Amino acid sequence: MLSYRHSFHAGNHADVLKHIVQALIIDSLKGKEKPFLYLDTHAGAGRYRLGNEHAERTGEYLSGVVQIWQRRDLPVDLAPYMNAVRAFNQGDTLRYYPGSPLIARYLLREHDKIQLTELHPRDYLLLSREFSKDSRARVQRADGYQQIKSQLPPLLRRGFIFIDPPYEIKTDYQRVVEAISEGHKRFATGTYALWYPVVLRQKIKRMLKELEATTIRNILQLELALRPDSDRSGMTASGMIVVNPPWKLEQQMNHLLPWLHKVLAPSGNGHTLVKWLVPE
Ligand SMILES: C[S@@+](CC[C@H](N)C(=O)[O-])C[C@H]1O[C@@H](n2cnc3c(N)ncnc32)[C@H](O)[C@@H]1O
């Protein structure tokens, strides 16, 4: 079953959170000259046109990236993310939203490597066209979870693994924990970032318990909720789990999340969270 298309959701509040975290992690990893592998297990189509039928049908980007795009008082730590978004748009008009692979393409250096997997046939095609001339990148139509087994540890010995499934299949909640656990066994020093939606809080609690029950340490949890938890009103919040985060990330997100919450939830509903799920 592959009914999920990210084009309906590109640029929504969840994308804003996940891509800010993605951009900050890449920016920190670039602090060392040594190259690294960027592995995106659920890559999507890459580029999204915001005025198109899919985006307009949900209008989710209007309460997400558009709110940030209009601001002039951007915190300095938003720069890696906003520079990437600006690079795909001309002037003041926001027409395109870059997905995680294009944010990585913009931020990574000549000597870094990019490994992308996407299962949906149409999105895979769009993605492979985007990267056809990028010699750093390899795009595959393959199961992203399998990549964790086949690509880790990376030859470069440094890596950032970005895991962003659609959670349209219930087993995704367990598979992500197995994937991180498997990845960590093969490559304990890598940085892993997992996105999660809060639709039913109970599912996230279970997923986090399973993660805590592994032997993995140094796990940071970040969350942005725009509404209180509810089992009736769709996605109320989303979060990121980061294993081996760059040392600055906790402080950066402590500063950024309250600002984001003010901008994206002006009514004050919801909450923000920066918490060590498992300390070092
Ligand atoms: C949330 S979207 C990804 C968005 C993208 N990471 C971004 O930030 O721009 C999830 C994607 O995973 C794809 N997908 C679903 N199951 C997959 C699997 N097992 N392996 C690889 N891709 C998968 C879907 O087709 C969808 O495009």
pLDDT of residue 17: 98
The mean pLDDT of 213-227, rounded to a whole number, is 97
pLDDT of residue 191: 98
The residue nearest atom 8 of ligand 1, judged by CA position, is 100
Q: Quick one: which of 108, 103, 48, 110 has its CA closest to 81?
A: 103
The residue nearest atom 12 of ligand 1, judged by CA position, is 42
Cα 217 to ligand 1 centroid, rounded to whole Å: 26
Which residues, at least 6 apart from 86, have a Cβ–Cβ distance to it below 8 Å? none
What span, in angstroms and rounded, lies between the C-alpha atoms of 126 and 34?
Answer: 30
Please tell me which residue in 77, 112, 164, 172 is annotated as part of the active site. Answer: 164
pLDDT tens sequence across 106-143: 999 999 999 999 999 999 999 999 999 999 999 999 99
Sheet holding 137-140, edge to edge: 137-140, 113-117, 37-40, 159-163, 191-198, 237-243, 219-225, 271-278
Cα 72 to ligand 1 centroid, rounded to whole Å: 32
The mean pLDDT of 214-233, rounded to a whole number, is 94
What span, in angstroms and rounded, lies between the C-alpha atoms of 102 and 99?
Answer: 6
Whether 15 is a known active-site residue: answer no
Cα 144 to ligand 1 centroid, rounded to whole Å: 8
Q: Is the CB of 123 under 6 A from ligand 1?
A: yes
pLDDT tens sequence across 161-175: 999 999 999 899 999
Instruction: Band the pLDDT of 1: cuts 50, 70, 90.
Output: low
Looking at the structure, give the CATH architecture of the domain made up of residues 6-278.
3-Layer(aba) Sandwich (3.40)
Concatenating the DSSP letter of every residue in 124-167 gives: HHHHHHHTTT-TTEEEE-S-HHHHHHHH-S-TTS-EEEEE----
List beta partners, residue 237: 198, 225
Helix (H) or strand (E) holding 70: none
Q: Is the CB of 44 under 6 A from ligand 1?
A: yes
Reduced to 3 states (helix: H, G, I; strand: E, B; else coil), residue 187 is coil
pLDDT tens sequence across 18-59: 999 999 999 999 999 999 999 999 999 999 999 888 878 888
pLDDT of residue 7: 87
pLDDT tens sequence across 51-108: 888 878 888 899 999 999 989 999 999 999 999 999 999 989 999 999 999 999 999 9
What span, in angstroms and rounded, lies between the C-alpha atoms of 71 and 200?
Answer: 32
